[in-house]
């Protein structure tokens, strides 16, 4: 008998159709090809043509299919029927939901718009949500930057007109030494991994500076296991070594930075510490050719770093001299700081020498002539092939802003910004602080706000204060407590609203922000604030509206739920007005579009805001006849113009062929879809480097609509606006800080980077709490979304507390043991694991793995809910009381960034409890539980 072969389909068709859109499994926004079979999502792969990922897809990206099908997806609008926190809701229609929202919001707008606090979390549409809030008229709007990485962003803008990640990237093709400081590995994920791959291929060296050797640090050639909160000291010691050795780029400093700008040196003069300017306000330098003051941008001048100038009996000296004097001090010598940083003096000197060697001995040249803003023609582009990247690890400290400034100053002293091999900006950056708005906060009934909420203050006159000096914003952003809080302080909104300080609000409206769990410091306290009632039995925060796609912990604490779609069911624009996806060589933007239709009664949040805006008669959302202006978010994306010819998307404008400027084109979204979901505009060769000073780049940026006129500027080694706040603290000017903050403003707002110990080191007894405690974001997760995802849960189902060898042995820990971890604020009991590649004074865990029972449609005995835990329970939004009884915010004093990583703890071995502590009672799930196994077959 012959063998009968079974009929097998050896090459099954993966899909009937591919739809190209943008991933939202993390914030990188890679291009994806979504394969559909029988109209259902069958498979996701990377888009090989996309500028961000060039086909690369990470674990999160491919697991998008499970996110899209997650059992935790909300299914319809919900109205709370049980007490807050019970999770008891009833489903209602969209019309009922929107009418309810209008009945709450309309009276507020007509009487006191500031009674609305509108804050968004992982929002990728901030230019739109802020536009809505501005039209509503409330000053109380921000996204989540205040508890994420505002120190990095603000320090970058104030210092050099851009920072890392969305602002810029290393010159991956040419850099020879790459230094990486603490990063969130779920952010800027594919681009950094791809970049590291390119460096490894070329044999470039990678140095990782992080208390924890995981992820990127694990593949670094050299790991510096620094003590948390001391990065600024380490960086300034590198600066000290470079200055001592004379290994700085004087030519670069002279031409492109404010190093030669003259500073008033007379303590008796009202302008002490401010720049010498001409009658038109232009900064002055000494021209080497004449020895006389000249405008910094005057054609033909050669600015002088060495000589000062006396005018009207007042001495002025170049910034460079002040800088050199400060950092040449022995206070910054490696021997003086090594012990505190946990890095030996020899190692610091060796790293400084290596930076200098690569920057100057391995300099590269590109034969590309270019013309600078003074009109001077240069034959070549000189490269210093040293580059840096940093993010949350150095910024989430109370000394984070100054630390981030220090890192940028180091880059600039090496002459390694916007040069071949160095760090390169991505459009619309570079963008100097002066090109950003100042914050606006004037709120009146039935009227839009007087301008954009967020911005960059130039001095005390720009603070968001009322006439009586009290904070205008609920989060107290842009006040003397944190003058440069460019992204607001989302982590203070609930506690301030609960305390009625600076005032009470009526409605808290939030989007994609899990404030009742992993996005808050002091989680239990926040839950109590959300559920607290006053003497009359009413909630202290009267109304809470929340929008999310999933049944997160926060859902249970809202009164009205507006269910969002998943990222495959919606329109979005990744806009140059917002958080763009550009590359150093090109401007780029992208869209999301509904590659599948929702199978539930949910709506994209931005479309809901278009509807709500029209129902509330907000000026930007209604036509002259009062009809709804934008049918939905797609309509807004195509037809909204921020100014004539400039809209959310740069591509396919006008007749469909214009890029950048042009009238709205009705088929713009279709053209994006046809083009793979994105649009790219390449920067001409001559404009590729030296962008802040290169007239070819400036002209290209104007043509594209990034600026209305060229905006060349100098990098700020010395940040004059900070000095203006110091002057106020010294008693000058009409706007004065309150007495209890005067000394702090004077100390912390130093215009040259400084280092001071993290505030918690002073606030607690460090002998009682000798250990630093950190969280890290795993590459395989994105915030709390990842641990509900059926595939990603298999990578990180729970999170032990990682303990270094010394502490492990001192406590007699063995695998499987548990520990109680205690801070000045609270205690947790959690499983431990040994990790040798860890700073000896530091313990850490993965962030946002722990879940509350009943949330995210998980089983109550899911490992995320029984062994997973949050470090948040140990952190408070306020510091412990000081001697004078005051409690300062646990934030950076300059920007208000949440100081998550200042945490100090002690650790002791305890008997294993049945579950991680503290335990919270289960929530009632509005979506029930997911099935025991999640499997389906798409197509036949
Ligand atoms: S890096 Fe982020 S955006 Fe890119 S594929 Fe992974 S999850 Fe998606």
In angstroms, rounded to a whole number, what is the distance separating the alpha carbons of residues 97 and 91? Answer: 9
Indicate the helix (H) or strand (E) that contains 68.
helix 64-68
Q: Which of 605, 481, 337 is nearest to 877 (CA)?
A: 481
Contact 604, 616 (CB under 8 A): no
Q: Tally Cβ neighbours within 10 Å of residue 194.
A: 15
Q: In angstroms, what is the span from residue 767 Cα to ligand 1's centroid? A: 42
Contact 146, 489 (CB under 8 A): yes
Q: Tally Cβ neighbours within 10 Å of residue 790.
A: 18
Burial of 314 (0-12, 13-18, 19+ CB in 10 A): middle
| Closest Cα to atom 2 of ligand 1 | 26
Phi-psi region of 161 (alpha: psi -120 to 50; beta: other; left: phi over 0): left
The model's pLDDT over 675-711, given as tens digits with 9 standing for 90+, comes to 999 999 999 999 999 999 999 999 999 999 999 999 9
Q: In angstroms, what is the span from residue 68 Cα to ligand 1's centroid? A: 14
Q: Is 330 helix (H, G, I), strand (E, B) or coil?
A: helix
Indicate the helix (H) or strand (E) that contains 614.
helix 605-615
Contact 573, 649 (CB under 8 A): yes
Confidence (pLDDT) at 894:
98
Q: Which of 112, 131, 110, 135 is nearest to 120 (CA)?
A: 131
| Closest Cα to atom 4 of ligand 1 | 30
| Closest Cα to atom 5 of ligand 1 | 61
Q: In angstroms, what is the span from residue 648 Cα to ligand 1's centroid? A: 22
Mutate to test the pocket of ligand 1, among 60, 572, 590 (most ligand atoms within 8 A of CB): 60
Residue 59, ligand 1, Cβ within 6 A: no
Residue 57, ligand 1, Cβ within 6 A: yes
Confidence (pLDDT) at 882:
73
Q: In angstroms, what is the span from residue 570 Cα to ligand 1's centroid? A: 17
In angstroms, rounded to a whole number, what is the distance separating the alpha carbons of residues 901 and 397? Answer: 6
Q: In angstroms, what is the span from residue 642 Cα to ligand 1's centroid? A: 29
Residue 23, ligand 1, Cβ within 6 A: yes
Collect all residues with Cβ–Cβ distance below 8 Å to 70 and sequence separation of at least 6: 550, 566, 788, 789, 790, 857, 930
The model's pLDDT over 159-181, given as tens digits with 9 standing for 90+, comes to 999 998 889 999 999 999 999 99
Residue 60, ligand 1, Cβ within 6 A: yes
Q: In angstroms, what is the span from residue 751 Cα to ligand 1's centroid? A: 38
Q: Tally Cβ neighbours within 10 Å of residue 221.
A: 14
Residue 284, ligand 1, Cβ within 6 A: no
In angstroms, rounded to a whole number, what is the distance separating the alpha carbons of residues 638 and 653? Answer: 9
Confidence (pLDDT) at 813:
98
Q: In angstroms, what is the span from residue 848 Cα to ligand 1's centroid? A: 18
User: Which atom of ligand 1 is nearest to 32's Cα?
Assistant: 5
Collect all residues with Cβ–Cβ distance below 8 Å to 593 and sequence separation of at least 6: 19, 21, 570, 571, 634, 669, 672, 673, 677
User: Which atom of ligand 1 is nearest to 60's Cα?
Assistant: 7
Contact 706, 248 (CB under 8 A): no
Contact 175, 195 (CB under 8 A): no
Q: In angstroms, what is the span from residue 774 Cα to ligand 1's centroid? A: 24
Contact 258, 716 (CB under 8 A): yes
Collect all residues with Cβ–Cβ distance below 8 Å to 919 and sequence separation of at least 6: none
Residue 25, ligand 1, Cβ within 6 A: yes
Q: In angstroms, what is the span from residue 420 Cα to ligand 1's centroid? A: 27
Residue 150, ligand 1, Cβ within 6 A: no
Q: Is 178 helix (H, G, I), strand (E, B) or coil?
A: strand
Residue 28, ligand 1, Cβ within 6 A: yes
Residue 581, ligand 1, Cβ within 6 A: no
| Closest Cα to atom 8 of ligand 1 | 61
In the chain, how long is the greatest CA-to-CA distance?
Answer: 113
Q: In angstroms, what is the span from residue 883 Cα to ligand 1's centroid? A: 48
In angstroms, rounded to a whole number, what is the distance separating the alpha carbons of residues 67 and 469? Answer: 47
Indicate the helix (H) or strand (E) that contains 560.
strand 560-563
Q: Which two tokens stand for residue 223?
A: 């790991």
In angstroms, rounded to a whole number, what is the distance separating the alpha carbons of residues 374 and 423? Answer: 23
Mutate to test the pocket of ligand 1, among 21, 24, 25 (most ligand atoms within 8 A of CB): 25
Q: In angstroms, what is the span from residue 61 Cα to ligand 1's centroid? A: 5
Residue 50, ligand 1, Cβ within 6 A: no
Q: Is 803 helix (H, G, I), strand (E, B) or coil?
A: strand
Residue 63, ligand 1, Cβ within 6 A: no
Report DSSP state, residue 838: B
Q: Which two tokens stand for residue 786?
A: 């990842």
Residue 322, ligand 1, Cβ within 6 A: no
Q: In angstroms, what is the span from residue 23 Cα to ligand 1's centroid? A: 6
Tell me how far CA of residue 10 lies from CA of 7, 36, 109, in angstroms: 9, 19, 63
Q: Is 381 helix (H, G, I), strand (E, B) or coil?
A: strand
Residues of the chain with confidence (pLDDT) below 70: 1-2, 939-940
Q: In angstroms, what is the span from residue 182 Cα to ligand 1's centroid? A: 20
Q: In angstroms, what is the span from residue 932 Cα to ligand 1's centroid? A: 27
Contact 76, 600 (CB under 8 A): yes
Residue 53, ligand 1, Cβ within 6 A: yes
Collect all residues with Cβ–Cβ distance below 8 Å to 458 and sequence separation of at least 6: 433, 434, 438, 721, 724
Residue 61, ligand 1, Cβ within 6 A: yes
First to last CA, the chain: 32
């Amino acid at each position: 008998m012959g063998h009968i072969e079974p009929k097998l389909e050896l090459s099954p068709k993966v899909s009937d159709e591919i739809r190209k859109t943008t991933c939202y499994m993390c914030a990188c926004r890679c291009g994806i090809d979504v394969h559909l079979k029988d109209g259902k999502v069958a498979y996701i792969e990377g888009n090989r043509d996309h500028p961000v990922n060039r086909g690369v897809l990470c674990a999160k990206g491919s697991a998008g299919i499970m996110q899209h099908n997650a059992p935790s997806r909300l299914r319809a609008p919900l109205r709370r029927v049980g007490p807050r926190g019970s999770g008891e809701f009833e489903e209602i229609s969209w019309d009922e939901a929107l009418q309810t929202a209008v009945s709450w919001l309309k009276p507020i707008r007509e009487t006191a718009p500031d009674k609305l606090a509108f804050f968004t979390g992982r929002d990728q549409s901030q230019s739109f949500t802020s536009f809505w809030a501005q039209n509503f008229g409330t000053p109380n709007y921000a996204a989540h930057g205040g508890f994420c990485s505002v120190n990095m962003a603000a320090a970058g803008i104030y210092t050099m007109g851009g920072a890392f990640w969305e602002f810029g990237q290393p010159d991956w093709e040419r850099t020879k030494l790459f230094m990486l400081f603490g990063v969130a590995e779920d952010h800027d994920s594919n681009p950094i991994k791809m970049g590291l791959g390119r460096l490894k291929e070329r044999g470039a060296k990678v140095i990782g500076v992080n208390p924890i050797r995981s992820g990127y640090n694990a593949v670094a050639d050299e790991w510096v296991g620094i003590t948390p909160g001391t990065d600024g000291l380490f960086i300034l010691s590198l600066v000290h070594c470079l200055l001592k050795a004379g290994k700085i780029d004087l030519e670069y400093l002279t031409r492109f930075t404010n190093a030669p700008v003259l500073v008033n040196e007379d303590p008796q003069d009202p302008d002490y510490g401010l720049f010498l300017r001409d009658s038109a306000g232009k900064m002055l330098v000494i021209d080497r050719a004449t020895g006389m003051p000249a405008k910094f941008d005057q054609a033909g001048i050669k600015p002088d770093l060495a000589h000062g100038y006396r005018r009207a009996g007042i001495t002025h000296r170049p910034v460079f001299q002040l800088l050199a004097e400060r950092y040449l001090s022995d206070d910054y010598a490696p021997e003086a700081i090594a012990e505190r940083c946990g890095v030996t003096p020899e190692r610091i000197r060796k790293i400084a020498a290596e930076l200098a060697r690569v920057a100057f001995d391995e300099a590269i040249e590109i034969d590309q002539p270019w013309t600078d803003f003074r009109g001077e023609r240069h034959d070549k582009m000189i490269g210093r092939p040293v580059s840096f990247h940093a993010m949350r690890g150095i910024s989430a400290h109370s000394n984070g802003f100054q630390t981030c400034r220090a890192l940028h100053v180091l880059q600039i002293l090496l002459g390694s910004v916007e040069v071949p091999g160095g760090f390169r900006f991505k459009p619309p950056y570079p963008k100097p602080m002066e090109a950003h708005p100042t914050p606006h906060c004037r709120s009146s009934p039935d009227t839009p706000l007087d301008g954009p909420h967020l911005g960059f203050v130039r001095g005390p006159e720009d603070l968001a204060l009322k006439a009586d000096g009290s904070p205008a914003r609920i989060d107290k952003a842009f006040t003397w407590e944190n003058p440069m809080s460019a992204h607001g302080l989302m982590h203070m909104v609930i506690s301030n609203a609960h305390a009625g300080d600076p005032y009470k609000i009526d409605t808290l409206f939030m989007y994609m922000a899990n404030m009742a769990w992993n996005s808050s410091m002091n989680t239990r306290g926040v839950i109590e604030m959300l559920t607290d009632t006053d003497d009359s039995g009413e909630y202290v925060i009267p109304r809470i509206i929340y929008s999310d796609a999933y049944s997160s912990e926060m859902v249970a604490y809202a009164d009205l739920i507006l269910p969002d779609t998943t990222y495959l069911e919606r329109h979005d624009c990744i806009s140059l007005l917002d958080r763009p996806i550009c590359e150093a060589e090109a401007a780029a933007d992208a869209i999301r579009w509904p590659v599948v239709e929702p199978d539930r009664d949910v709506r994209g949040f931005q479309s809901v805001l278009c509807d709500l805006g029209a129902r509330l008669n907000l000026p930007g959302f209604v036509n002259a006849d009062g009809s709804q202006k934008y049918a939905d978010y797609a309509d807004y994306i195509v037809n909204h113009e921020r100014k004539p010819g400039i809209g959310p998307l740069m591509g396919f404008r006008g007749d469909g062929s214009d890029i950048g400027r042009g009238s709205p084109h009705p088929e713009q979204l279709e053209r994006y879809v046809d083009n793979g979901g994105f649009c790219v505009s390449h920067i001409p060769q001559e404009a590729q480097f030296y962008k802040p000073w290169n007239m070819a780049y400036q002209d290209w940026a104007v043509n594209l609509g990034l600026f209305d006129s060229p905006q060349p500027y100098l990098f700020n080694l010395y940040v004059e606006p900070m000095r203006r706040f110091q002057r106020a603290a010294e008693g000058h000017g009409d706007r004065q800080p309150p007495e209890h903050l005067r000394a702090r403003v004077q100390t912390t707002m130093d215009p040259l980077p400084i280092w001071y110990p993290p505030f918690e080191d002073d606030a607690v007894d460090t002998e009682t709490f000798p250990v630093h405690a950190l969280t890290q974001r795993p590459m395989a997760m994105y915030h709390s979304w990842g641990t509900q995802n059926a595939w990603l849960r298999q990578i990180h189902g729970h999170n032990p507390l990682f303990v270094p060898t010394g502490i492990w042995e001192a406590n007699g820990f063995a695998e499987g043991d548990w520990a109680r971890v205690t801070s000045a604020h609270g205690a947790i009991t959690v499983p431990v694991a040994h990790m040798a590649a860890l700073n000896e004074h530091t313990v850490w865990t993965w962030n946002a793995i722990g879940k509350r029972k009943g949330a995210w449609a998980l089983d109550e005995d899911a490992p995320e809910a029984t062994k997973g835990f949050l470090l948040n329970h140990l952190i408070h939004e306020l510091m412990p009381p000081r001697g004078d009884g005051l409690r300062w915010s646990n934030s950076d004093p300059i920007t208000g960034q949440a100081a998550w990583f200042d945490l100090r703890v002690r650790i002791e071995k305890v008997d294993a409890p049945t579950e991680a502590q503290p335990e919270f009672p289960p929530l009632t799930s509005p979506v029930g539980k997911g099935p025991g196994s999640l499997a389906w077959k798409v197509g036949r």
